[in-house]
Amino acid sequence: MPVLISPPDLPNWVPGRVMSASDGLGWKGVSHRSYRYTGLDVPIPPMDHVMIVRYRSGQTPMERCLDGKWSKEACEPGVFSLLTHSEPSHWYWTQCIDVSHTYLSEALMCRVASDVMERPVAEVRLLDLLRAQDPIVTNITDAITQEAQQRGLGGALYAEALAMQLTVHLLRRYAAVTYKDCFVAGALPPGRLRRLDEYIEMHLHENITIEQLAQVAELGVWTFTKHFKSTTGRSAHAYVMDRRVERARRLLSQGLMAIKEVAFACGFSDQAHMTRVFRARLGVTPARLKKAD
């Protein structure tokens, strides 16, 4: 399997002047860099992100080789190129150009695709497009570029929201999606539910988030939440809380641990939290339950 490079590694293969970048801004799943390039003839190793190249100034004949096939277009401001992840490429152009790069992680693409398609996604690959025009793509990538340059309030959240919009649009028009396995709509397969149970049991003493469970289930958060409740009849939060109560009852009945220790071993924030949950669900306090046993 070829070694994949990340967006910050790109200047090692494509030397250019960095005009702006999202480095250090804490963005997740999306990043940005703008470059000023002279004419270049450069092979690029496969990347671990998809790349959208937005041409900002300058006009040049652009040649690119993907999978052994060369294509040639005239690229000028207002158009963009797409490069899928994990695909080596070779680029050749002769004129000076300014471009902005928007990078989307494979994990983000698959997570959003899982939510959109409502089934587990193995891979999302972008189409081979050296020259395309689409105001939605250019407007969103321009907004991402502007955010990297101006660094406004809530910038990471804003950039990630733009990235999700961009991903959905790419899925609609410029992507091929490969699914993981047979999946019954609205239900979690038994094997996936078993993995969730194992994960919950292993991490029950910790704070377990919906995002973590969705990742274990290999689904987006929205799709996971919907399918989990359809499968179990309970929300994921209620399901995890039931498991905490079950473990706590078992430990209390053994009488080997103090109530405070049981609370922390079962993932409650403190003894008072466990007491409130026990009263609400069982109608009895942990102290009384332990005494009865």
CATH number, residue 13 = 2.60.120.280
The answer on 223 and 162 residing in a single domain is no
The answer on 197 and 158 residing in a single domain is no
Please give the Cα distance from 51 to 35 (Å, whole number). Answer: 14
pLDDT of residue 49: 97
pLDDT of residue 179: 82
Write the DSSP string, 137-178.
HHHHHHHHHHHHHH--TTHHHHHHHHHHHHHHHHHHHSEEEE
Average pLDDT of every residue of the chain = 92
The answer on 139 and 88 residing in a single domain is yes
Residue 42 lies in a domain: yes
Is 199 a residue whose pLDDT tops 90?
A: yes
pLDDT of residue 3: 87
pLDDT of residue 183: 56
Residue type, 118: E
Domain boundary among 140, 163, 179: 179
Lowest pLDDT segment from 50-59, 181-190, 221-230: 181-190
The answer on 248 and 123 residing in a single domain is no
Residue 1 lies in a domain: no
pLDDT of residue 87: 94
Is 232 a residue whose pLDDT tops 70?
A: yes
pLDDT of residue 218: 82
Nearest partner of 19 among 92, 99, 94, judged by Cα: 99
pLDDT tens by residue, 143-197: 999 999 999 899 999 999 999 999 999 999 999 988 876 555 567 888 888 999 9
CATH of the domain at 205: 1.10.10.60
The answer on 156 and 18 residing in a single domain is yes
pLDDT tens by residue, 249-275: 999 888 888 999 999 999 999 999 999
Which residues contact residue 195 at a Cβ distance below 8 angstroms, ignoring those fewer than 6 apart?
A: 216, 217
pLDDT tens by residue, 101-117: 999 999 999 989 988 88
Greater model confidence, 222 or 32: 32
Q: Which residues pair with 43 in a beta bridge?
A: 90
Residue 136 lies in a domain: yes
Residue 39 lies in a domain: yes
Residue 2 lies in a domain: no
Residue 61 lies in a domain: yes
Question: Is residue 81 a contact partner of residue 45, using CB atoms and an 8 Å limit?
Answer: no
The answer on 104 and 198 residing in a single domain is no
**What are the structure tokens assigned to 59, written together?**
């006009």
The answer on 199 and 124 residing in a single domain is no
The answer on 138 and 44 residing in a single domain is yes
The answer on 203 and 92 residing in a single domain is no
**What are the structure tokens assigned to 223, written together?**
């799709």
Domain that holds residue 157: 7-179
| Average pLDDT score over residue span 276-289 | 86
pLDDT of residue 187: 75
The answer on 46 and 90 residing in a single domain is yes
**How many residues in total does the chain contain?**
293
Please give the Cα distance from 27 to 13 (Å, whole number). Answer: 24
pLDDT of residue 185: 58
As separate numbers, helices (DSSP H) first and strands (DSSP E) second, the chain gives 10, 12
Is 292 a residue whose pLDDT tops 70?
A: no
Domain boundary among 179, 211, 237: 179
Domain boundary among 155, 179, 203: 179
Helix (H) or strand (E) segment spanning residue 281:
helix 271-282
Greater model confidence, 213 or 185: 213
Number of domains in the chain: 2
Other Cβ atoms less than 10 A from the Cβ of 182: the count is 8
| Average pLDDT score over residue span 38-49 | 97
The answer on 144 and 252 residing in a single domain is no
pLDDT of residue 2: 72
Is 293 a residue whose pLDDT tops 80?
A: no
The answer on 168 and 23 residing in a single domain is yes
Lowest pLDDT segment from 29-38, 46-55, 151-160: 151-160
Residue type, 2: P
Which 3 state secondary structure label does DSSP give 98? strand
Residue 155 has phi, psi (to 5 degrees) of -60, -45
Greater model confidence, 291 or 177: 177
